[in-house]
Structure formats: structure tokens, C-alpha cells
Chains A and B, each alone.
Chain A
Amino acid sequence: GAVVSQHPSRVICKSGTSVKIECRSLDFQATTMFWYRQFPKQSLMLMATSNEGSKATYEQGVEKDKFLINHASLTLSTLTVTSAHPEDSSFYICSASDRFYGYTFGSGTRLTVV
């Protein structure tokens, strides 16, 4: 079946630094990548949608200059949290979409900003 590899699984960074999260679709081409954020005991909130080779579409209230998304190829998308602050601490998870497999989630990244 479809697999999306997400790295890192956990990261701790200092306030003010940037963190890059990577999602790769291993055995299929993801036409679309969705990026979600999930705070403890809450639902998955869509942050942005990206299609290969084009700019990401951000949901209302999500700062595009803070959460940089790059979808350079059909198998790789990255989310960079710039100038991270403690309130950015969360579980970030990607979901790749294609016509055959539907939605395939990465394993998630637990970001802690100290």
C-alpha cells in the first residue's frame, strides 16, 4: 500500500530558530499534500494545501511567511516553521493525496519549542 515517510518524528528547538519537516511519498506520486496541525486533545486542523510545482494555499489564519511549504516534486513536500515560538509546539502531520490511494498520512512530527 501507499506509504508516506515523515521526518523527524520528534524535534526540540530553541525559540527563534527554524525547523524543517519533510514528507516523502515512497511508492506513489502525491499530486497534493495537505499539512495539518494537531494540538493536544484536539482535532486535525488543516494549515495548507500544496500541489507539486505551485504555491501552497493556506487556510485562513495561518501565516504563510511563518509556515513555509515547498512541494518541489511529486514525492517530496516540506514544511518549515520559521522563527518558532513555544505556541508553535504541536503535532504536525502531512497527508498525501492521489487518485488511487486516496489520503495517506505521514507518521507525524512532535515539535517542542523551548
Chain B
Amino acid sequence: GENVEQHPSTLSVQEGDSAVIKCTYSDSASNYFPWYKQELGKRPQLIIDIRSNVGEKKDQRIAVTLNKTAKHFSLHITETQPEDSAVYFCAAREGGNKLVFGAGTILRVKS
């Protein structure tokens, strides 16, 4: 089955700086890669996603890149703000429509 690895586990940045979180996946058949933001005790919120036929997608301060050959995808947050502080999870959709999640990254934006 699919295996998703996520790095780093924690990331501290200064307000206004950029943050990058990276994930790798193992199943070349995976075709959908969402990113979620989760605050303590809350449900994961989809912040951006990308499909395997696209290499990059951007939504305001958030962007995702996908390298299918290398089987890795990354989340880029620019101009970080304190409210960006949360846990971020990447995921990959494998056969059977299942989402397999990475281990998560705790992002702290220091003001």
C-alpha cells in the first residue's frame, strides 16, 4: 500500500518568512495529493490540493508543487502570519479512494 513520509516534523519561522513542507509517496498510481491544516481538537481543513496531471498550483499565499518522477510534493506558504500556526498534513490518494496521511508538521510562526 501507499506510504507517505513528511518532513520536517516541526518548523519554526519568523512572521513574514516562507515555510516549506515536503512529502514523498511510494505508490506511483496515486493521483491526488491534498494538504490539510489542523488546529488542536478540530477537523482537518483542506487548504490546497493537486492532481497528478498538474505540476504546480497556487492559491494566494499557498502553493503546491508535484514531481511525479521523484514522487514528491511540497507545500509552500509565503508571507507567513501567526494564524498560519497549526499542524499541516499531506496526503496521497491510493487505489480504493483511500487517503494516506503523512505524519504531520507542526508549524509555528513567531511574531
Contact = CB atoms under 8 A, between A and B. Distances in A.
B41 A34 contact: no
Most chain B CB within 10 A, of A32, A43, A57, A110, is at A43
B89 interface: yes
Interface in B32-91: 34, 41-44, 46, 49, 89
Given A106-B43, A107-B42, A44 B89 contact: yes
Interface residues of B, number: 17
A1 to B, nearest CB: 10
Given A43-B89, A103-B34, A95 B99 contact: yes
B60 to A, nearest CB: 19
A105 B104 contact: no
Interface of B: 34, 41-44, 46, 49, 89, 96-104
